[in-house]
A and B are shown apart, each in its own frame.
Chain A
Amino acid sequence: MSAITNSELDRRTLLRRAAAVGLVAAPGVSFLSACAGGSDAPSTPQATGDKSADNPLGIDAKAGVEIVIFDGGLGTKYATDVDTPMFNKKWPDAKVTYSATQQVATTIKPRLNSGSAPDMINNSGADIMDFGAIVKAGQAADLSDLFAAPSLDIPGKTVAETLVPGAVQQGTYDGKPFAVNYSFTVFGLWYNKKLFDKNSWTIPTTWADFTALLDKIKAAGITPFGFAGANASYYMVRAIMTSAAKIGTEQVLKDIDNLKPGAWTNDAVLKAAQAWGEVGTKYIDKSFLGLKHTEVQLQQDQDKLAFYPCGSWLENEQAASTPAGFEYAMMAFPSVTTADQLPAAAINAAAGEIYFAAAKSKNPQGGKEYLRTMLSKAAALEFTKLTKSLTVVAGAADGLTISPGLTSANDALSKAGKDIFMGYLFDTWYKKLDDASREAANQLMFKGGDAKKFCDTMEAASQAVAKDSAVTKFTRS
């Protein structure tokens, strides 16, 4: 046998051995378990101090506090330049250790499991941790004492009383609050006010006016409506859900969140899906299914797309690509039927951006005190100035001249009056259902608008989650 064939055989033997111990097989799996096994980690001794009027959470004035901030659309300046200095003004001896990350789950999950968690964590972004699972595993600190503590700079009120309605509820799991949802987002249909003014297109409140306007826009050679199917179809899910709530009140969404049988085949959901499915078949650009949110949003900035369903972060996100002739404005989703139970002005506005104190950290009370600092009126005002996002601290941004888009969102809020509803939570509670809804929305909007199929698919997915004993269930009322 020659040297050549010999070496070939060696390679084969080597390969076979390698395969036998799994060197080359399924490389993606092995790192899975890198963070396992910390389940019974011994509890860390935790810093506490004496409770007093000045120190309602009983923190140790000398213990350091470690915070982790998500470095995304909101930036990190609000933490480094506003919250930390404010915290240190009150607690000069408590050293704040700060870090920022874009990979929240990758960096934080192993630390939670090994029992050495940071004290306050901003759970956000594409690498967000499943917060329901964190609560179930006992990794998040109960924030009842934080919300019952007096506000830092609004005299005579507890922290909970200074927040917009629904803000505490949104971070509540089975009756106990575990998260501060800090930013306040208003959802609606976004458009270029200057473009609409130029064409004297008026803002519709009924579905008939809406589709008539979509026809006019189409005739003008602009794609009337669109969203990004590749990675942001949950904006469309929100549009469908908002319409369903307008038809049949927020109860429709509560039933969906509670995984109630028949919640998705409800008449309100069906009607909303029918209405939007028709928009999908007639007015959408089919190629949007393959595009990412940045690409679709850019098309809107270039006036190639008229309506885009999104939250009030849109204007800030697009700041760099918005040309001079473009002025963001937002309208409430129009009424679907004439018998809608909520008025056309009703709006879905929800607290978002989770901040929580870790239960198994060195200084959870310190983490909570940091949150109390963030929830002060002064910190909230600075946050809105820096990020152009409203916060859940009620009225903190009043009197502030904000950008046109945010002003328009604020106007929509005041027009809605008492008809502001929090929306749904199934997307954070049940990630699998969230994924299913994104896919179903894509199918509805890009593949023929079959509303019944949308309802049936989602009903089946919802009942599958309900039956899965491995998934922790939550309820709301």
Chain B
Amino acid sequence: MRHGKYPFIIGFLVVPLALYLVFVVGAYLQMFQLSLTDWSGFGGFNYVGFDNFVKLWDDPVVWTALRHNLFLLILLPLVTIALALFFAFLLNVGGKSTGGGTRGVWGSKVYRIIFFFPQLLALAIVGVIFGRVFGSDRSGMINGLFPESWTPWLFLADERWALTCILAVLIWQAVGFYVVLFSAGMGSIPEEIYEAAALDGATKITLFFRITLPLLWSTLQVAWVYLGIAAFDAFALVNIMSVNQGGPNNSTQVLSMQIYLNAFKFSQAGYASALGVVLFFLTLTFAALTLRVTRRDAVDA
């Protein structure tokens, strides 16, 4: 029995592992290789050393894109987690307490489903729908709400607000998932703790900050990393929603868009791979830093 165990396990692992090695690890290795070449995307290439990296250091658009990624990196996790925590708290412990037990606000089960809905829509569809919501003339959903004399808001066509519009959609799409994630985390916090605190006269706010938040810490940490990675991406929405793919005037340009444009439009696959390498290390550094900085001893429940 014992000696039959390994072939059995290996038999299960070999297919997914092979797929992973070929399509993920292999692709990454090739990206590292290509980042040192002048490959256009067609035919052969020459090795050019670190020229691509020098070039991207001097490329102002790359820095603009990085600044926008940073903007998303700070605001997307912050706002999403704050909103999701707020909603999750209301759904789980925000309601009137009866007989010592905690429960959510009235109708919380329905709300939970509604909040999760955006998660079920493909990002491309979300992009198209919100493209209409943010329409820059009177046919846009928001501008259409106002009377005829209204000068339409430009939304995505306004350099100052375009990226904020995209951020809003990213948040709208993400909140539902984290409400469910945090709800699950809150559900596993033993009720006795809430009861004990409530007996001591703790208010809802105290309950939230003194009990819910510390006990959810590691869930929050994971959420933060996931959202950070989403902020480094943001490609689909920028590609679908923005004016002129990253415009106007590069005001919605992000690193992933730059990779796409260089690889598939400007025929500079080598340069795009170099950008990919940069993005890879940025994402990795971010994930490692977040886990390191936010490390705390888990509160033992």
Give the interface centre of A25, A229, A438 by most chain B CB atoms within 10 Å.
A25
Task: State the CA gap A354–B222 with chains docked (Å).
Answer: 50
Tell me how far the C-beta of A18 lies from the nearest C-beta in chain B, rounded to whole angstroms: 9
A109:B154 contact, CB within 8 angstroms: no
Assess whether A130 is in contact with B265, with CB atoms less than 8 Å apart.
Answer: yes
Distance, CA A36 to CA B135, complexed state (A): 39
Query: Across the two chains, which residue of chain B brings its CB closest to A39?
Result: B44
Bound: A286/B273 CA distance, A: 37
Answer whether residue B207 sits at the interface, using C-beta atoms and an 8 A cutoff: no
- Shortest distance from the beta carbon of B212 to any chain A beta carbon, whole Å: 13
Contact between B136 and A287, CB atoms less than 8 A apart? yes
CA distance A113 to B299 in the complex (A): 56
| B284: Cβ under 8 A from any A Cβ | yes
The reply to whether A134 and B42 contact each other, CB–CB distance below 8 Å, is yes
Residue among B139, B225, B272, B284 making CB contact with A295, cutoff 8 Å: B139
Contact of A32 among B44, B273, B301 (CB under 8 A): B273
Residue pairs across A and B with CB atoms within 8 Å: the count is 214
Interface positions of B from 31 to 76, Cβ below 8 Å from A: 31, 34, 38-45
B86 CB-CB contact with A under 8 Å: no
User: Of A5-13, A73-81, A264-272, which stretch is located at the interface?
Assistant: A5-13
Given the complex of chains A and B, what is the CA–CA distance between A464 and B241 in angstroms? 28
Known: A30-B23, A37-B30, A435-B261. A229 touches B270 (CB 8 A): no
CA A466 to CA B299, docked complex, whole Å: 61
Alpha-carbon distance between A216 and B96 when the two chains are bound, in angstroms: 66
Evaluate contact between A25 and B287: CB separation under 8 angstroms.
yes
**Assuming the A-B contacts A36-B34, A289-B136, are A26 and B154 also in contact, with contact meaning beta carbons closer than 8 angstroms in the complex?**
no
Instruction: Contact check, A26 vs B232: say whether CB atoms are below 8 A apart.
Output: yes
* Distance A19 CA – B280 CA, assembled complex (angstroms): 10
Q: Which of A1-35 contact B (CB under 8 A)?
A: 1-2, 4-5, 8-9, 11-12, 15-16, 19-35
- Known pairs A229-B248, A230-B157, A439-B247; A112 contacts B42 (CB<8 A): yes
Asked if B225 contacts A19 (CB within 8 A), the reply is yes
Number of B interface residues at 8 Å Cβ cutoff, please give it.
75
Bound Cα distance A113, B125 (Å): 32
What is the CB-to-nearest-CB distance from B244 to chain A, in angstroms, rounded to a whole number? 6
Of A54-62, A135-143, A169-177, A400-408, the segment with at least 4 beta carbons within 8 Å of chain B is: A135-143
A5-B301, A28-B260, A432-B266 as given contacts; A39 in contact with B233, CB under 8 Å: no
Task: State whether B298 touches A8 (Cβ < 8 A).
Answer: yes
Give the contacts of B11-29 with A (CB-CB under 8 A): 23-25, 27-28
Give chain A residues whose Cβ lies under 8 Å from the Cβ of B250: 439
In the assembled complex, A425 has its CB within 8 A of some CB on chain B: no
Contact A431 B280 (CB under 8 A): no
| Interface residue? B106 (CB, 8 A) | no
Q: Is the CB of B229 within 8 A of A24?
A: yes
Instruction: Tell me if A12 and B40 are in contact (CB < 8 A).
Output: no
Determine if A222 is an interface residue (Cβ-Cβ < 8 Å).
no
B218 within 8 Å of A (CB atoms) = yes
Asked if B279 and A26 make an inter-chain contact with CB atoms under 8 angstroms apart, the answer reads yes
In the complex, per-residue mask of A333-361: 1 if CB is within 8 Å of any chain B CB, else 0: 00000000000000000000000000000
- How distant is B56 from chain A, measured CB to nearest CB, in Å? 12
- Is residue B249 contacting chain A, with contact meaning CB distance below 8 A? yes
Instruction: State which of B44, B140, B264, B284 has its C-beta within 8 Å of the C-beta of A19.
Output: B284
The count of chain A contact residues (Cβ–Cβ below 8 Å) is 69
Report whether A133 and B136 are in contact in the complex, using a CB–CB cutoff of 8 Å.
no
- The answer to whether the Cβ of B144 comes within 8 Å of any Cβ in the partner chain is no
Flag if B233 contacts A27 (CB, 8 Å): yes
B156 within 8 A of A: yes
Do B300 and A1 touch across chains, with their CB atoms under 8 A apart?
A: yes
A182 to B39, CA, bound (A): 30
Cβ of B152 < 8 Å from any Cβ of A? yes
Q: Which residue of B25, B134, B138, B300 is within 8 Å of A21 (Cβ)? A: B25
**CB within 8 Å for A139 and B301 given contacts A30-B23, A290-B243:** no
A285 in contact (CB, < 8 A): yes
User: CB of B155 within 8 A of chain A?
Assistant: yes
CA distance A31 to B156 in the complex (A): 29
CA distance A460 to B298 in the complex (A): 56
Known: A19-B288, A30-B28, A112-B42. A25 touches B265 (CB 8 A): no
Chain B residue nearest to A33 in the complex (CB): B30
| Also in contact, A23 and B265, with CB within 8 A (given A112-B42, A442-B247) | no
The interface residues of chain A lying within 8 Å CB-to-CB of B291 are 12, 15-16
Residue of A31, A134, A435, A443 near B27 (CB, 8 A) is A31
30 A-B pairs within 8 Å (CB atoms) are namely A12-B221, A12-B291, A20-B284, A23-B24, A28-B259, A30-B31, A33-B34, A36-B30, A130-B40, A130-B42, A136-B42, A136-B43, A138-B43, A285-B137, A289-B136, A289-B157, A289-B248, A290-B137, A290-B155, A290-B157, A291-B137, A431-B266, A435-B244, A435-B261, A439-B250, A442-B243, A446-B157, A469-B38, A470-B40, A472-B40
Task: Please give the residue numbers on chain B whose beta carbons come within 8 Å of chain A beta carbons, in ascending order.
Answer: 23-25, 27-28, 30-31, 34, 38-45, 134-140, 152, 154-157, 185, 188-189, 218-219, 221-222, 225-226, 229, 232-233, 235, 243-245, 247-250, 256, 259-261, 263-273, 276, 279-280, 283-284, 287-288, 291, 298-301
Pairs of residues from A and B, 5 with the lowest C-beta to C-beta distance, nearest first: A290-B136, A137-B43, A290-B157, A137-B42, A29-B276
